[in-house]
Amino acid sequence: MALAAYRNLLRSARIAFEGDLNMLIAARHEARRNFEGNRGLINGSEEISKQITHAEEVAKFLRENVVQGQALDKGAEKYKLRIHEHTERGDNEDIKKGKGNTLAGAGAGTKCCSG
């Protein structure tokens, strides 16, 4: 269970920091350090499942919500982002459904703060 989480975490780090060897090695060390720190936990305890869930969440975050960017040239405020297939992308659903409950969308039909 913990091993699967560790493998998953290493895979995510490989996806998130592909091509950036320093960062990849640092991420692996950090993962290892955290797993070593929890080595003493008893199998099946509540704490261990909490830690495994944490590792899975970190892996998911690294995979889906971390993108690396590289400055295009010095001084310019432009970065080329390496967005990959696993990166989470919004579909702008909440912009459409937001009308009615928010102040911005409420003006047309319903009254906001009856006053």
Partner 1 sequence: MFRTAILRSARQAARAAPRCQTPIARPVARSPLFQSKQITPTAYFQAVRCYSAHAGLGKDEVLGRIMDLLKNFDKVQDTSKLTADSHFSNDLGLDSLDTVEVVMAIEEEFSIEIPDKEADAIHSVKHAVDYILAQPDAH
Q: Which is nearer to partner 1, 6 or 106 (CB)?
A: 6
HSE-up of 6 (CA within 13 Å, CB side)? Answer: 14
Q: Which residues of 20-32 are buried (b: 16+ CB within 10 A; e: fewer)?
A: eeeebeebeeebe
Q: Is 4 in the site for partner 1 (CB under 8 A)?
A: yes
Q: Is 29 in the site for partner 1 (CB under 8 A)?
A: no
HSE-up of 115 (CA within 13 Å, CB side)? Answer: 2
Q: Is 36 in the site for partner 1 (CB under 8 A)?
A: yes
Q: Is 54 in the site for partner 1 (CB under 8 A)?
A: no
**Binds partner 1 (CB under 8 A): choice among 35, 48, 82, 106:** 35
Q: What is the DSSP letter of 11?
A: H
Q: Is 11 in the site for partner 1 (CB under 8 A)?
A: yes
Minimum Å gap between C-beta 32 and partner 1 is 7
Contact call for residues 12 and 63 (beta carbons, < 8 A): yes
User: What is the contact surface with partner 1 in residues (CB under 8 A)?
Assistant: 3-4, 6-7, 10-11, 14, 28, 32, 35-36
